[in-house]
Amino acid sequence: MPASVRVAVIVMSLLAGLLLLYAGLTWFNREQVIDTLVDSGGLSRGDAGRVVLTSVIPFAVLGLVLAASAWSLPRRRPWARWVGLAAVVLLGLLTLLSALASGGATALSLLLILLCLAAVSSLLSRTTAAWVPRLRGTR
pLDDT exceeds cutoff 70 at 138: no
pLDDT exceeds cutoff 90 at 34: no
137: in domain: no
138: in domain: no
Residue 102's pLDDT band, with cuts at 50, 70 and 90, is confident
Average pLDDT, the chain: 91
52: in domain: yes
- Per the CB < 8 A criterion, the answer to whether 33 and 52 are in contact is yes
Structural domain tally of the chain?
A: 1
Mean pLDDT of 48-66: 91
136: in domain: no
Mean pLDDT of 22-40: 89
pLDDT exceeds cutoff 90 at 87: yes
pLDDT for position 35: 87
Of 2-6, 7-11, 31-35, 91-95, which range is least confident? 31-35
139: in domain: no
- What pTM does this model have? 0.87
21: in domain: yes
Mean pLDDT of 85-111: 91
86: in domain: yes
- In angstroms, rounded to a whole number, what is the distance separating the alpha carbons of residues 107 and 114? 11
pLDDT for position 104: 84
Domain that holds residue 29: 3-128
pLDDT exceeds cutoff 60 at 131: yes
